[in-house]
Structure 1
Amino acid sequence: MSHPSRPETLADLRIEIDRIDAGLHQLLMERGEIINRLIEAKARQGGGSAFRPGREADMMRGLASRHEGLLPLDTVESIWRIIISTFTYVQANYSVHADISGGDAAMRDCCRFHFGFTVPYIVHHGARAVIDAVAGSNGDLGLAPVRGGATSGPWWRGLIGPQAPKIIARLPFVERPDHPAGMPLFVIAQPLAEAAAREVVVYAVALERWLDDLTSSLDALGAEILDNAADGFGLSLMVATVGDAGPERLRETLIRAGAVEPRIAEVGSHAARFDFSAAQRQGAPSEPAPNRTTPSEAA
């Protein structure tokens, strides 16, 4: 700390920086010790998933809400994402399987931004291959582009069924222009017995054909078509709804729009993203509209 009777020198400021750096390192080591105790507590209570998407979303929402000053939010978000993901890896080793059919460079950048370099990164060509890898793993995660139907077909149909992997998060969680890892991605995992975030629920919808009033009808419900692709029976849609809409309201909406016996299956859910630009405009924390549609330990 500087002496009150003289101006601060570079040496004074560097001493302050060293003090803060040492404190940050000490806190990270303390966090690691708490994670070790958490692992022991979970073992005594019969275990449980290391991934807590809802808790992680709360942490990232709080981080973005209170952030201010010179340090870019991009840096803060990435640091915390890596801390969360790495301590999750310490709890239970996992790999991230990524669909690079749309390009490896952008996907790799997103993976490293959100998961760091400690978590292994495994590439696949096609979202279906990612789903198969997650299904056959011992707790791995998958990354698939939200709009990947053009290259992978209706890949979301691979998430249908109680034992099939499910969407547990959408990245990036903090929504803002020019995000350095802004590719919209779904995080896929084996079904979570607990701790799933359900502010936004995602469905696979099968129709015979496209309907003229489909988009407007879903908009009125507060739902959004994320992607669509033809399959062997007609048209397959991936639809996101607000958590309280439910499959029956979705079915009724589709039938009113002209659908005949639509087939609907839940394929996952995630937290509503934090709209940082809206929060800045309003001067307070803000929730995005859920139909404008993140995994982790977050201990």
Structure 2
Amino acid sequence: MTEAAPTTLADLRSEIDRIDSTMHALLMERSQIIETLISIKKTQASGSAFRPGREADIMKRLALSHKGLLPLDTVESVWRIIIATFTYVQAPYSVHADVSGGDPAMRDSARFHFGFTVPFVPHEDARAVIRAVAESAGDLGIFRMDQGASAGIWWRDLIGPDAPKIIARLPFVERPDHPAGTPVYCIAKPLADAAVREIVLYAARVERWSEALRHGLAEHLAEVSASAADGSHLSLLVAASGEVDQAAIRAALAPAGLSDFSEIGSHAARFAVKSARS
């Protein structure tokens, strides 16, 4: 039996060229589908084409199925650019970012998650980002989750049926060495048909704080993500499992003198991997 000739360098390069051509052809095929989608949507309401629930699911599936030499960072960034760019051509939008904690980290986050085609607009704080999104036709906004006390009670600016809402927590796939790992909230005008409700966020106002309040929330799979003095009261940002009824969260807050309670958004639950390589 004759042994097969060893694969040559030329053969390997030819295979790479074939794969590159196939990838380009598939991207063009994807763009044709998007063109059809745009023509169908002409009779629908305008606004952001961002679908955070679907995007979170795509990124989780990529992370779970990925293997081999290629870093997950590269795979994730390629898909983020593809998804964000095709979203942009469906309905152009800008990304407004709070750079008060440092421009480089927020710019890295915006470019990793939304690519270079989408315009980047810096702002002085989270509240300015919320105002800009509220005044836009379909823009997105991002700001750090760990806002300091100087940021004010920004979450109260999300109260109201027409106010922007938190729609995502980025990055979708968390890991210690993520190239754009700053945890940020992403906001948009209300996207009821696109919301993913694994984690639901509430703005609440109570008369006082106590450890009993913390324990009561924990019993209902909820926690206080941020708090700030609000006159004679205390304003809270509460994150709760979407599986828990809103009434249960209200009941847990009632002993602290609850006087105000509103849902201000939701996002996918955290999904973490150990490293960028499988």
CA contact (8 A) 1:202 1:266 kept: yes
1:272 and 2:269 aligned: yes
My pick for the range that moved more, 6-15 or 121-130, is 6-15
Mapped to 2, the partners of 1:153 and 1:46 lie a distance apart of 34
- CA shift, 1:275, in A, is 2.4
Counterpart of 1:168, as a letter, is: I
Aligned twin of 1:6:
5
Which SS does the other structure have where 1:221 is aligned? Answer: coil
- CA shift, 1:246, in A, is 2.8
CA contact (8 A) 1:218 1:253 kept: yes
Q: Name the % identity.
A: 61
Alpha-carbon distance change, 89 to 203 in structure 1, aligned in 2, over 3 angstroms: same
Normalising by structure 1, report the TM-score.
Answer: 0.87
Mapped to 1, the partners of 2:47 and 2:65 lie a distance apart of 31
Alpha-carbon distance change, 85 to 63 in structure 1, aligned in 2, over 3 angstroms: same
Aligned twin of 1:261:
258
Counterpart of 1:263, as a letter, is: D
CA contact (8 A) 1:102 1:151 kept: no
Alpha-carbon distance change, 168 to 231 in structure 1, aligned in 2, over 3 angstroms: same
Q: Which runs of 5+ in 1 are unaligned?
A: 282-299
Which portions of structure 1, spanning 4 or more consecutive aligned residues, are displaced by more than 4 angstroms?
44-49
Counterpart of 2:7, as a letter, is: E
Mapped to 1, the partners of 2:80 and 2:171 lie a distance apart of 10
Aligned twin of 1:158:
157
Mapped to 1, the partners of 2:43 and 2:152 lie a distance apart of 44
CA contact (8 A) 1:200 1:240 kept: yes
Q: Which aligned pairs between 1:120-159 and structure 2 lie closer than 5 A? A: 120-159=119-158
1:209 and 2:208 aligned: yes
Superposed CA deviations along residues 122-180 of structure 1, whole A, max 9, x for unmatched, are 00011000000000001000001112143311111100011100001110111222211
Aligned twin of 1:288:
none
Mapped to 1, the partners of 2:47 and 2:85 lie a distance apart of 17
RMSD value, Cα: 1.9
Aligned twin of 1:50:
49
Mapped to 2, the partners of 1:49 and 1:109 lie a distance apart of 22
- CA shift, 1:49, in A, is 4.7
Mapped to 2, the partners of 1:153 and 1:98 lie a distance apart of 16
Q: Which runs of 5+ in 2 are unaligned?
A: none
Aligned twin of 1:295:
none
Superposed CA deviations along residues 234-276 of structure 1, whole A, max 9, x for unmatched, are 2211111011213211111122xx3113421100011113222
CA contact (8 A) 1:42 1:48 kept: no
